[in-house]
Amino acid sequence: MTSDKMKLLVDEAVTALAPTFTKIDLHVKTNLERVLQAFRDRRVGAHHFASVSGYGHGDMGRDVLDEVFAQVMGAESAAVRVQFVSGTHAIACCLFGILRPLDELLSVVGAPYDTLEEVIGYPLTSDSKSDITGANYAGSLKDFGITYRQVELTPEGGVNWEALAKAVKPQTRMVLIQRSCGYAWRQSLSIEDIERIIQLVKQQNPNTVCFVDNCYGEFISDREPTAVGADLMAGSLIKNPGGTIATAGGYVAGKAEYVELAAQRLTAPGIGREGGATFDLNRLLFQGLFLAPQMVGEAMKSSHLAAYVFDKLGYQVKPLPYEPRRDIIQAIQLGDPKKLIEFCRNLQRFSPIDSYVDPVPGEMPGYVSQLVMAGGTFIDGSTLELSADGPLREPYTVFLQGGTHWTHVAIALENFQIDDLQ
Both 245 and 329 in one domain: the answer is no
Both 182 and 283 in one domain: the answer is yes
Both 364 and 279 in one domain: the answer is no
Both 155 and 176 in one domain: the answer is yes
Total domains, the chain = 2
Q: Of 257, 289, 321, which marks where a domain is finished?
A: 289
- By mean pLDDT, which of 133-147, 326-340, 346-360, 406-420 is the weakest? 133-147
Over residues 83-98, the pLDDT tens digits come to: 999 999 999 999 999 9
**Average pLDDT value for residue range 345-365:** 92
CATH number for the domain that contains residue 261:
3.40.640.10
Residues 6 or more apart whose CB falls under 8 angstroms from that of 241 comprise 69, 218, 219, 235, 251, 288, 289, 292
Q: Of 259, 289, 319, which marks where a domain is finished?
A: 289
- By mean pLDDT, which of 3-12, 56-65, 148-157, 411-420 is the weakest? 411-420
**Average pLDDT value for residue range 210-233:** 98
What per-residue confidence (pLDDT) applies to 420?
64
What per-residue confidence (pLDDT) applies to 132?
45
What per-residue confidence (pLDDT) applies to 275?
93
What crossing angle do the helices spanning 282-312 and 60-73 adopt, rounded to 10°? 40
Both 178 and 299 in one domain: the answer is no
Both 212 and 164 in one domain: the answer is yes
Q: What is the mean pLDDT of the chain?
A: 94
- By mean pLDDT, which of 3-12, 367-376, 400-409 is the weakest? 367-376
- Three-class DSSP category at 400: strand
Residue 126: pLDDT band with limits 50, 70, 90: low
Both 393 and 322 in one domain: the answer is yes
Both 46 and 77 in one domain: the answer is yes
- DSSP strand E in 4-138: where? 77-81, 104-107
CATH number for the domain that contains residue 352:
3.90.1150.60
What per-residue confidence (pLDDT) applies to 229?
98
What per-residue confidence (pLDDT) applies to 135?
45
**Length, in residues, of the chain:** 422
Both 338 and 258 in one domain: the answer is no
Both 15 and 47 in one domain: the answer is no
Both 157 and 231 in one domain: the answer is yes
Position 133 pLDDT exceeds 50:
no
The fraction of the chain above a pLDDT of 90, given in percent, is 87
Over residues 372-386, the pLDDT tens digits come to: 999 999 999 999 999
Residue 127: pLDDT band with limits 50, 70, 90: low
Strands of the sheet containing 250-254, edge to edge, are 77-81, 250-254, 232-236, 209-213, 172-178, 104-107, 147-150
What per-residue confidence (pLDDT) applies to 422?
67
Distance CA 259, CA 232 (A): 7
Over residues 159-211, the pLDDT tens digits come to: 999 999 999 999 999 999 999 998 888 999 999 999 999 999 999 999 999 99
* Domain that residue 133 falls in: 32-289
**Average pLDDT value for residue range 8-16:** 97
Both 228 and 323 in one domain: the answer is no
Residue 2: pLDDT band with limits 50, 70, 90: low
Over residues 97-124, the pLDDT tens digits come to: 999 999 999 999 999 988 899 999 987 7
325: which DSSP letter?
A: P
Q: In the chain, count of helices (H) and strands (E)?
A: 11, 12
The fraction of the chain above a pLDDT of 70, given in percent, is 95
Residue 131: pLDDT band with limits 50, 70, 90: very low
What pTM value is reported for the model?
A: 0.94
Q: Of 266, 289, 312, which marks where a domain is finished?
A: 289
Distance CA 226, CA 253 (A): 8
